[in-house]
C-alpha cells in the first residue's frame, strides 16, 4: 500500500510586465516580480514628472526663494 501524495498544486501567476513566473507570495499578491515592480514604479514616477512638468509653459525653479 503506497502513500498517495497527490499532485502538488501551486498557485502560479505570471508577471504582468515580463510574463515570468511569480514564485514569492509577495510578488503573486502584487501580480508583478520585484525587479519589474522597481521598473514599473520608475516609469510611473517618470510619467508623473512629465505630467507635472508642462514643456509648453516654462517654469522657473527658484531654489533660493526664501534665502533672497
In 10 A of CB 47, how many CB atoms? 10
Q: Does 14 bind Zn ion (CB under 5 A)?
A: no
Handedness of CA 17, 22, 26, 30 (dihedral sign): positive
Min. distance of Cβ 7 from Zn ion in angstroms?
A: 27
Identify the residue among 1, 9, 28, 33 touching Zn ion (CB under 5 A). Answer: 33
The correct pick among 13, 17, 30, 40 for binding Zn ion (CB under 5 A) is: 17
Q: Check: CB of residue 22 under 8 Å from CB of residue 29.
A: no
22 contributes a contact to Zn ion by CB under 5 A:
no
Binding site residues, Zn ion, CB under 5 A: 15, 17-18, 20, 33, 36
Amino acid at each position: 500500500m503506497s502513500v498517495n501524495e497527490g499532485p502538488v498544486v501551486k498557485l502560479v501567476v505570471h508577471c504582468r510586465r515580463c510574463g515570468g513566473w511569480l514564485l514569492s507570495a509577495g510578488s503573486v499578491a502584487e501580480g508583478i516580480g520585484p525587479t519589474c515592480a522597481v521598473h514599473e514604479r520608475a516609469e510611473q514616477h517618470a510619467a508623473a514628472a512629465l505630467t507635472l512638468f508642462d514643456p509648453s509653459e516654462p517654469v522657473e525653479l527658484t531654489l533660493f526663494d526664501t534665502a533672497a
